[in-house]
Amino acid sequence: MRSEIEPGGRKPRSFIEEARRAQIVASAVAVIAEVGFAQASLARIAKHAGISKGVISYHFAGKEELMEEVVTRVYTEAADHVLAEMEGLQDAGELLRTYVIANAAHMRRHRAQIMALGEIFNNLRTAEGKPRYGVQTSEEIYQALESVFRLGQRTGRFRDFDLRVMAVTLSAAMDSMFGYWAAYPEHDLEAHARELADLFERACST
Amino acid sequence: MRSEIEPGGRKPRSFIEEARRAQIVASAVAVIAEVGFAQASLARIAKHAGISKGVISYHFAGKEELMEEVVTRVYTEAADHVLAEMEGLQDAGELLRTYVIANAAHMRRHRAQIMALGEIFNNLRTAEGKPRYGVQTSEEIYQALESVFRLGQRTGRFRDFDLRVMAVTLSAAMDSMFGYWAAYPEHDLEAHARELADLFERACST
DNA sequence: TCAATTTCTGACCGCATGGCCAAAATCTAG
DNA sequence: CTAGATTTTGGCCATGCGGTCAGAAATTGA
């Protein structure tokens, strides 16, 4: 099971090429997390990286490609971590709980990255003004969650509820957990995650 | 119980003044709902209203005041409708269910307005670049929901869960229901709302 | 009717942005 | 060492934005 956000990898032309791209992406993450997407201009990102603005244009086709690279790196890393934690589990309830807890753990260790990811998801638009990452981007997540719910229903562990509604709601619950923690860093993320796991276990169970 | 978003009303100087403001707000709603906040420039809103751009500057102190007026009108209308439906109910479970259903019903009848509201909530920034409507804007909603949950716990109808987590999650669930419907207009909003009511009733109940 | 007031127009301003490019600097390979 | 390729610089450009303004138009009231 692997993320489908960016199916094909790219081949770096040189070591410097790859290093520069990684550095620019890191600066983009830092700047977006600090000042928000709207204020994250190429000039600001370049300044943070200690390079000239033109360097970004040299290594990336445009701002959109840079943002997509940020999404790809951060998203795949998070997905890989969560999926690795879920690997091997058989019980739908455990899968559900692990999904919630592992996600929270990853958020806590990669706060800036996830904040940047959310900013880009919410704000990046195509040239025509349409959201670059809309609801259809979440389709992959929805289907993965639905497969867990379906397993639970098949084994009799879960009651008979609408798969899509539950998936959309759980996904939104995770986002809101992160959003609340982002706004109130003192908030106990782990406790929130445990409450969420209980909440959805009760909502799903027979 | 009344919304606290904009405590003080304004006094319109004349009939034309009020009519123009209402017309401009309506055009702002339509444009934002159609092309998104980022593309909703004053020029575009003016064009939609069939007036010159300067008229907006004449009737509003600036773009921020216009957006805040949109939020005030749309939000208070929605809150008043939902709260009116809940008025008089005593049982926490019924209050919860009514909150979900009434919200969905209002969304369905005011799709463009709610879309514009969401766009503004997510995108409007102050001059310093900070979100104008952040998580603290939801504090009012959270506390209202918590009072319902607390009632249920006091009467023994609900189990002992974390009030804040449940409120944040329910609020996010409502937002995601609207977001999904906004992306897929064929989606059955009422059925979704019923599923949500069931979901949270199970999650809350003893 | 006609002057005072309110409202509207359309051009204009300063600003920030993303992108572009010629020239300079740096690195690499023969 | 040197010639060619790669990488970086810093200034420049067109664009679109929110906001302003003088003057025209419309409305109002006596």
Mean of pLDDT over chain A: 92
Determine contact: B141 vs chain A, CB below 8 A.
Answer: no
Spatial distance between the Cα atoms of B171 and B169, rounded to a whole number of angstroms: 5
Q: Is the pLDDT of residue B7 over 60?
A: no
Taking only the tens place, the pLDDT of each residue in A110-132 is 999 999 999 999 999 998 888 89
Instruction: Write the burial class of residue A1 (CB in 10 Å: 0-12 exposed, 13-18 middle, 19+ buried).
Output: exposed
The neighbour count for residue B147, using CB atoms within 10 Å, is 15
- DSSP 8-state secondary structure symbol assigned to residue B39: G
Short-list A108, A74, A117, A97, CA closest to A157: A97
Q: Which two tokens stand for residue A115?
A: 């904040």
Instruction: Tell me the average pLDDT across A90-115.
Output: 98
Confirm whether any atom of chain C, the nucleic acid strand, is less than 7 Å from CB of B14: yes
Angle (nearest 5°) at CA A187 between A30 and A79 = 55
Q: Which two tokens stand for residue A102?
A: 């592992």
Of B129, B134, B161, the CB nearest to A195: B161
User: What is the per-residue pLDDT for B31?
Assistant: 97
Spatial distance between the Cα atoms of A19 and A71, rounded to a whole number of angstroms: 17
Q: Which two tokens stand for residue A165?
A: 């509604």
User: What is the per-residue pLDDT for B129?
Assistant: 80
Instruction: Tell me the average pLDDT across A20-45.
Output: 96
Contacts made by residues B33-39, CB under 8 angstroms, sequence distance 24+: B33/B111, B33/B112, B33/B113, B33/B115, B33/B116, B33/B119, B34/B112, B35/A129, B36/A125, B36/A129, B36/A130, B36/A131, B36/B119, B37/B119, B37/B120, B37/B122, B37/B123, B37/B124, B38/A123, B38/A125, B38/A129, B38/B123, B39/A125, B39/A129
- At residue A85, the 3 state secondary structure works out as helix
Spatial distance between the Cα atoms of B155 and B206, rounded to a whole number of angstroms: 11
Can you tell me which residue has the tokens 């753990």? A105
User: What is the per-residue pLDDT for B130?
Assistant: 85
Q: A123-127, A131-135, A142-146, B122-126 — which one is most confidently predicted on average?
A: A142-146
Instruction: Tell me the average pLDDT across A171-183.
Output: 97
* A164 CA vs D28 C1’ separation (Å): 61
pLDDT bracket for residue B17 (50, 70, 90)? confident
- At residue A171, the 3 state secondary structure works out as helix
User: What is the per-residue pLDDT for B194?
Assistant: 98
* B121 CA vs C5 C1’ separation (Å): 38
**Range in B10-14, B34-38, B49-53 with the lowest mean pLDDT:** B10-14
**Domains contained in chain B, CATH given:** 11-60 (1.10.10.60), 71-204 (1.10.357.10)
Say which residue, B129 or A43, is predicted with more confidence. A43
Residues 6+ positions from B78 with CB-CB distance below 8 Å? B103, B106, B110, B113, B114, B117
Spatial distance between the Cα atoms of A103 and B175, rounded to a whole number of angstroms: 21
Dihedrals phi, psi of A132, to nearest 5 degrees: -70, -40
Torsion of CA B59, B62, B63, B64, to 10 degrees: -120
Instruction: Tell me the average pLDDT across A78-98.
Output: 97
With the C-alpha atoms ordered B180, A142, B167, A77, is the resulting torsion angle positive or negative?
A: negative
User: What is the per-residue pLDDT for B13?
Assistant: 55
Confirm whether any atom of chain C, the nucleic acid strand, is less than 7 Å from CB of B53: yes
Spatial distance between the Cα atoms of A119 and A123, rounded to a whole number of angstroms: 6
- At residue B41, the 3 state secondary structure works out as coil
pLDDT bracket for residue A6 (50, 70, 90)? very low
Partners of residue B38 in chain A, C-beta under 8 Å: 123, 125, 129
Percent of chain B whose pLDDT exceeds 70: 92
User: What is the per-residue pLDDT for B135?
Assistant: 84
Partners of residue B162 in chain A, C-beta under 8 Å: 191-192, 195
CA distances from B190 to A66, B109, B148, B172, B178 (A): 40, 12, 22, 17, 11
Q: Is the pLDDT of residue B136 over 90?
A: no
Spatial distance between the Cα atoms of B166 and B162, rounded to a whole number of angstroms: 6
| Axis-axis angle for helices B111-123, B163-183 (nearest 10) | 120
Instruction: Tell me the average pLDDT across A26-53.
Output: 96
CA distances from A21 to A76, A119, B122, B175 (A): 17, 20, 29, 36
Give the minimum alpha-carbon distance from A131 to chain B in angstroms, rounded to a whole number.
9
Q: Which two tokens stand for residue B70?
A: 């949109």
User: What is the per-residue pLDDT for B19?
Assistant: 86
**Mutating which of B130, B176, B192 best tests the A interface, going by the most A Cβ atoms within 10 A?**
B176
Whether residue A149 contacts residue A205, with contact meaning beta carbons closer than 8 Å, is answered with no
Q: Which two tokens stand for residue B135?
A: 């998580």
pLDDT bracket for residue A149 (50, 70, 90)? very high
Partners of residue B171 in chain A, C-beta under 8 Å: 176
Which nt is closest to the CA of B19, judged by C1'? C7
